[in-house]
Amino acid sequence: MNLSHHPDNIAPHGGTLINRICSPEQKAEFLDKADHLPRIQLDERALSDLEMIAIGGFSPLTGFMPKADYEPVVNEMHLANGLPWAIPVTLSVTEEEAAPLKEGMLVRLDNPQGQFVGVLHLTEKYPYDKLHEALHVYRTNEEKHPGVKVVYNQGNINLAGDVWLLQRNPHPYFPTYQIDPAESRALFRDKGWKTIVGFQTRNPIHRAHEYIQKCALETVDGLFLHPLVGATKEDDIPADVRMRCYEILLEHYFPLDRVILAINPAAMRYAGPREAIFHALVRKNYGCTHFIVGRDHAGVGDYYGTYDAQYIFDEFAPGELGIEPMKFEHAFYCKRTGQMATTKTSPSGPEDRVHLSGTKVREMLRRGELPPPEFSRPEVAAELARAMRIPVEV
C-alpha cells in the first residue's frame, strides 16, 4: 500500500474504523436493563481503554481481549489473526468480582464515580500470568516501574468480550480538542493533506520537540499534535498545564494552517518500545501516515535503551504496520551554531550542547527554577512558572 496517496486510502488498522458507541435505541435498551445487570467499576485506565475502543482509536479491537489475542500479543506482538499489536488491552477483576459473572451475560460498566458508562458482553474470563506480562511487555518485573505496578495491583482474572460506550460525552476539560478518529480523518481530507505526521507527548512541549516536529513538517503536509491526557504518573505535569503550553507554542511559533492540536484520551503505560508501536498504530487509526519516534519514547527511568523504541520497528516486516516511523535523534541546543540540532547536524562537542529532558525540567520546576531559553520558549517557560507558582523576574 502506498501511504502517500489520499487519506481515504490510509486504512485504519485491520481495515475498518471501529465504532462501539451506542445508537439511541441501544442506549435506551441498556438503560432499561441497567438496574438488573451485574456491575464492574472501571478504574481510570480501563475507562480510557473503553473510550478508545468505542471511538475506533484501538481498531480493530471491538472489546477487551480474549485469551486467544492476549497471549500472542504478550508473547509475539501480534493478534490471533496476525495483525501487529504490541500492548494487551484487558479488563482485569478480582476472583470475587469474577465469580458471579457467567459467560454470555451483559455486564454493566461504571466509571470510577459509579456512573453507568458502558456495557460488556462477557464471552470469556481467564486467569493470566502477571509476571510473564510484566517481563514481556515492560521488560522488567520491578514493581517500581509504574506500568508493572498497575499490572501487579489489578485483579487476577481478565474479562473478555465486545463493549459498548453508552454515549460519547465532551471531554470535561478540553472539549474543543476532542477530535475522535472519524473526525480527524475528515479534517485531514478537508485540508487536502495526503501525508500527516503524528506526535505523541505527555510532557510540556520544549524546543527539542519543536525542532523535530518542524523537521518532520518539512516533508509532510500536516502535523497532528496529539498529547495524551489520560492517566499518567503523579509527578507528570498536569494535562491542563501541558495543553496551555501547546496552545502558546502553536500561536507564536508554528504555521497554524499546517497543525491540528487534538487530545489523545488514552492512558500511559510507560512500556517504552512496545508503547511506541502501540502509539503508532493508534495514530494510524486517527488517519496519520507517519509517526515521530524520538529519544526514549514512552520510557520511564532507565528501563529502556535510548533508541530501543526506534529499533523495535525493525522487528516488523516493511509495510506491516501501515504507518511510517520517522526516527529522530536526541535534539539539543548547540551553542556553536546558536540553534537546535542533533549529533547528525551539530559540529560542537558535548561541552557546547544544552541537553535537558522532561524529567530534568520537572525537577527544575519543583526546585523553583525556570528552564533556560535554550530549552524552552520564554512564553512556555512563563506559563510553566505560573502553573507551578514560581516567581518570574521581569
Catalytic residues: 202-203
| Distance (Å) of CA 71 to CA 53, 82, 87, 163, 314 | 19, 12, 11, 20, 22
User: E strand or H helix at 300, and its extent?
Assistant: none
User: How far apart are the C-alpha atoms of 303 and 297, rounded to whole Å?
Assistant: 12
Helix, strand, or coil here: 316? coil
Of the chain, the end-to-end C-alpha distance in Å amounts to 55
Give the span between the Cα atoms of 206 and 245, in whole angstroms: 9
C-alpha cell at position 144: 517500581
Asked if residues 203 and 227 have their Cβ atoms less than 8 Å apart, the reply is: no
Q: What is the CA radius of gyration of the chain?
A: 21
In angstroms, the Cα distances linking 46 to 20, 158, 247 are 15, 12, 28
How many Å apart are CA 346 and CA 208, to the nearest integer?
14
d(CA 86, CA 175): 29
Phi then psi dihedrals of residue 195, to 5 deg? -125, 130
In which residue are the cell numbers 481515504 written?
A: 8
The number of beta carbons lying within 10 Å of the beta carbon of residue 368 is 11
